[in-house]
Every structure is written in structure tokens, then in C-alpha cells.
């Protein structure tokens, strides 16, 4: 279903009309918002053909999953953004995909978002009786996308601090599994933020960038700084989690080495004693030591001295 909101400049009012009743020639001071979120593939194609959208832009716009992108034709600009729709970083189900085509007075949007709260933030706000610039709607969407990451990253800072304290005192495999999940999610959203940061970074230095049609240098730089800050935060958190993993593995390895050292010392002490016991456990008829009256006690004393001597030697060498 195509949802079409039309601002009539003469009556200065917003109307919900069907796509078939859209004027063939839209006045410059009119505003049109076509929401294709619930539209079928045929309806989407019908709208894109109506506004003569180039095939490459139409194909990218129609996709449910596409990396963030900025592209333009003579009168329309395609902007694809990805927001973060999950409650936290413990799992990553799917990004909030924002596909928009816009011109001076027309906005065509297609949103894919499973989070109702974020979906509401991404939906343009219509003020009764007021004509709003299409660029303001686009700006609202860009800020909503960046805000979907910022809130989660700020909350994650406290959670990561707790993880650091736990791993420092009593780290476990459960915490390690949580850290690995967090790292996986951060790595995925880091890619999205890198794409989006580059979109606005290029606009700062390109004189003919499509964003300059509707936004000032200050606004574009503000967009870039927001996504650059988010990208830096994900890099920082990812590196800190990596340090926690390396620290936990180093601690675990050290503990294993300590246990192996104890086992090695015990083995080294008892190997000679086992050798002596093995010799006198052989069933030969002629063994002269077996007939010595105090032979049993002498062997025990020799074994005890050998064990104590080995411990003293380890202590002198600093191995124990």
C-alpha cells in the first residue's frame, strides 16, 4: 500500500490522497511524501517510474538490505542509511534500513525497522497547516539514525566497566562468551558507521556533492562529526574488549603454567623414587640387598633423602 501525504499550497493543508490523484505537474511550493514501507514491489516500481528514477537508483532503493550509500541523478538524490534497532549489544538481529529518494519538494521513503520506537523517530513529522522543507525531514532521519547508535554506546560504557571489574577479579567463561558476542556486534556496526561517516566526509571536500543541494557546509560537517564520533567510540570499545580477552587468556595461561610447574616438580621428585621401587620390585631369585637385615629401612631413607635433595635443588635454582 502506498501512503501519500500531499501539502496543498493553496489551502495550506496536508491531505492523504491516493497515488492516482497526484497532480501530473507538482507545484514548486507543494510538498509530497510517499511512504513505500508497506508498498508491494509493483507499487514501488510504479512510483519510481512515475518520477523517472534511473534504473540503478531504483534497484538500490528497492533493496531491503544495502550498504549505506549516496548517489544522485539530475533531480533526485538517493540516500541509504542504517540505524541500530536492537535494545543493546548483546545480540544483533538486523539493522534499521532507511532508503530515501528526495528532491526539492518530494520525499520517497522506504523503512525497514523491527523496533517500533526507532521507526517512529525515523518517520517524518507532519505539522498540520505547515509546509516543511524536505531537507528538514532528511535531516531528522539522519539525526535519528545517529541517535540510535549513540544511546546504546553511552549505556554500554557502564556495562563494559562492570565487565572489566568482573574479569579483573573473577573472570569466567561466561563473561568471555559475553565479551565475544559484544565484539562481534561492535565489529558489524563499525562497518555501518564507517560507510556513513565516509558519505558525509566526502561531501565536505567535494564541490559537486549531491548533499550540497539541500544542506549547508555546517550541517554536513555536523553529520560527519556525529558519525565520526560514533565510529571512534565503537573502535575504542572494541579495542578495550580485545584487551580484556587478551588479559583473560594471559591470566588463564599463567595459571595453567603454574599448575604445570607443580606437576613437573612432583613428577621430577617421584621419578627417581619410582625407579628405585621398580628395581627392588623385580622378582629375581638372587638379589643380595634383599638379605640385608636393615635393607628396607636403608632404601626408605635413601628415597627420602633423594626426594628432599630434589626439593632443595629446585629451591636453590629458583624453580619453586
DSSP character string of 68-100: -EEEE-SS-EEEEEEEE-SSSTT----EEEEEE
Nearest to 153 by CA among 67, 235, 31: 235
Cα–Cα dist 169/176, whole Å:
13
The strand pair at 31-35 and 106-112 is best described as parallel
Q: What is the pLDDT of residues 97-111, one digit of tens each?
A: 999 999 888 899 999
pLDDT at 17: 87
Neighbours of 76 (CB within 10 A): 22
Cα–Cα dist 305/310, whole Å:
8
Region at 8 (left for phi over 0; alpha for psi -120 to 50; beta for the rest)? beta
Report helix, strand or coil for 117.
helix
pLDDT at 287: 78
Where in the chain are the domains? 3-251, 258-317
Quick one: CATH architecture of 3-251? 2-Layer Sandwich (3.30)
CA distances from 218 to 76, 223, 315 (A): 22, 9, 71
Can you give the C-alpha Rg of the chain in angstroms? Answer: 36
pLDDT at 267: 79
CA distances from 248 to 115, 158, 170, 176, 251 (A): 35, 20, 10, 8, 5
Kindly give the parts of the chain with pLDDT less than 50: none
Helices (DSSP H) in the chain: which residue ranges?
Answer: 41-50, 55-62, 116-122, 134-170, 173-205, 217-279, 295-317
Fold of the domain built from segment(s) 258-317: Methane Monooxygenase Hydroxylase; Chain G, domain 1 (1.20.58)
DSSP for residue 291:
G
Report helix, strand or coil for 13.
strand
Neighbours of 262 (CB within 10 A): 10
Pair 146, 230: CB distance under 8 Å: yes
Angle at 242 between CA 237 and CA 243, to 5 degrees: 100
Cα–Cα dist 296/288, whole Å:
12
Q: Per the structure block, which three cell numbers stand in for 163?
A: 565487565
Nearest to 203 by CA among 228, 237, 175: 228
Q: Which long-range contacts (CB under 8 A, 24 or more apart) does 20-28 make?
A: 22/50, 26/105, 26/106, 28/104, 28/105
Record the pTM: 0.77
Q: Per the structure block, which three cell numbers stand in for 288?
A: 643380595
Cα–Cα dist 59/66, whole Å:
10
Residue 54, judged by CB atoms within 10 A of its CB (0-12, 13-18, 19+), counts as: middle
Amino acid at each position: 500500500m502506498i501512503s501519500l501525504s500531499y501539502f496543498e499550497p493553496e489551502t495550506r493543508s496536508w491531505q492523504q490522497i491516493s497515488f492516482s490523484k497526484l497532480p501530473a505537474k507538482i507545484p514548486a511550493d507543494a510538498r509530497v511524501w510517499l511512504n513505500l514501507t508497506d508498498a508491494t514491489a509493483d507499487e514501488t516500481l510504479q512510483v519510481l517510474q512515475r518520477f523517472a528514477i534511473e534504473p540503478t537508483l531504483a534497484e538500490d532503493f528497492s533493496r531491503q538490505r544495502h550498504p549505506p550509500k549516496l548517489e544522485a541523478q539530475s533531480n533526485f538524490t538517493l540516500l541509504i542509511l542504517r540505524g541500530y534497532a536492537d535494545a543493546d549489544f548483546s545480540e544483533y538481529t538486523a539493522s534499521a534500513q532507511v532508503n530515501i529518494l528526495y528532491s526539492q519538494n518530494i520525499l520517497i521513503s522506504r523503512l525497514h525497522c523491527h523496533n517500533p520506537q526507532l521507526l517512529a523517530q525515523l518517520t517524518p513529522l507532519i505539522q498540520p497547516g505547515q509546509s516543511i522543507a524536505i531537507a528538514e525531514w532528511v535531516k531528522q532521519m539522519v539525526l535519528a539514525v545517529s541517535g540510535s547508535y549513540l544511546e546504546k554506546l553511552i549505556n554500554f560504557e557502564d556495562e563494559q566497566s562492570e565487565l572489566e571489574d568482573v574479569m579483573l577479579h573473577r573472570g569466567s567463561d561466561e563473561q568471555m562468551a559475553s565479551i565475544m558476542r559484544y565484539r562481534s556486534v561492535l565489529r558489524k556496526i563499525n562497518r555501518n558507521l564507517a560507510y556513513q561517516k565516509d558519505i558525509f566526509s566526502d561531501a565536505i571536500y567535494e564541490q559537486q556533492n549531491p548533499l550540497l543541494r539541500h544542506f549547508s557546509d555546517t550541517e554536513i560537517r555536523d553529520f560527519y562529526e556525529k558519525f565520526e564520533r560514533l565510529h571512534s567510540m565503537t573502535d575504542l570499545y572494541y579495542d578495550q574488549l580485545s584487551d580484556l580477552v587478551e588479559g583473560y587468556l594471559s591470566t588463564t595461561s599463567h595459571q595453567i603454567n603454574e599448575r604445570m610447574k607443580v606437576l613437573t616438580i612432583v613428577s621430577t621428585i617421584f621419578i627417581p623414587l619410582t625407579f628405585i621401587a621398580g628395581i627392588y620390585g623385580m622378582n629375581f631369585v638372587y638379589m643380595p640387598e634383599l638379605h640385608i637385615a636393615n635393607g628396607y629401612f636403608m632404601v626408605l631413607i635413601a628415597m627420602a633423602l633423594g626426594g628432599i635433595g630434589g626439593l632443595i635443588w629446585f629451591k636453590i635454582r629458583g624453580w619453586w
